């Protein structure tokens, strides 16, 4: 196990216990609220300096860090970068998120175009290519055509 785990043992009273284990081999245990708070602070400061944790590029500035963002995603991020990002105006963040979505859509279109070109070079029929790309099924060639009203 790596990290900090807080739990209440089954056989004891309602006193919470926390275990801290690091890749470098350091382990610590704390009982009670104040000790757990101190252990949590220690775990955060230990992460910044531990040689066993490889630094990764910050998701905001790209500079290597051992810190994690304070969000749910767990991406690497300096505290200053994360704070600066969170204080930006919501409209700017919304536009950046929209730009990221557009990039994903464009990437999907590019992959689809490349797949269509490859299948065409390989000699597949147009209706087969459309079915493969759309994930749909080909029409049954033996089925009678439907009459329109």
Give the residue, 124 or 72, on which the prediction is more confident: 124
The Cα 46–Cα 68 span in angstroms is 12
Environment class of 53 (CB within 10 Å of its CB; exposed 0-12, middle 13-18, buried 19+): middle
Q: 108-141 as b/e, with b when 16 or more CB fall inside 10 Å?
A: eeeeeeeebeebeeeeeeeeebeeeeeeeeeeee
What is the predicted pLDDT for the residue at 81? 82
What is the predicted pLDDT for the residue at 19? 92
Residue-wise pLDDT for 70-95, tens only, equals 655 667 777 788 777 777 778 777 88
pLDDT level of residue 104 (50, 70, 90 thresholds) = very high
What is the predicted pLDDT for the residue at 149? 55
Element (H, E) at 119: helix 90-121
What token pair was written down for 132?
Answer: 């493969």
Mean pLDDT computed over every residue of the chain: 81
What is the predicted pLDDT for the residue at 127? 84
Percent of the chain with pLDDT over 90: 19
pLDDT level of residue 106 (50, 70, 90 thresholds) = very high
């Amino acid at each position: 196990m790596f990290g900090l785990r807080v739990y209440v043992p089954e056989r004891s009273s309602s006193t919470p216990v926390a275990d801290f284990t690091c890749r470098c081999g350091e382990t610590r245990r704390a009982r009670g609220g104040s000790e757990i708070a101190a252990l949590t602070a220690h775990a955060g400061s230990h992460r910044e300096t531990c040689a066993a944790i490889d630094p990764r590029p910050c998701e905001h500035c790209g500079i290597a860090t051992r810190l994690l963002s304070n969000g749910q995603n767990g991406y690497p991020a300096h505290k200053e970068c994360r704070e600066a990002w969170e204080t930006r105006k919501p409209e700017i963040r919304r536009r950046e998120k929209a730009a990221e979505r557009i990039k994903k859509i464009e990437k999907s279109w590019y992959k689809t175009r490349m797949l269509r070109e490859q299948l065409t070079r390989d000699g597949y029929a147009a209706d087969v290519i459309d079915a493969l790309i759309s994930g749909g099924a080909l029409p049954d060639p033996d089925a009678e055509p439907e009459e329109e009203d």
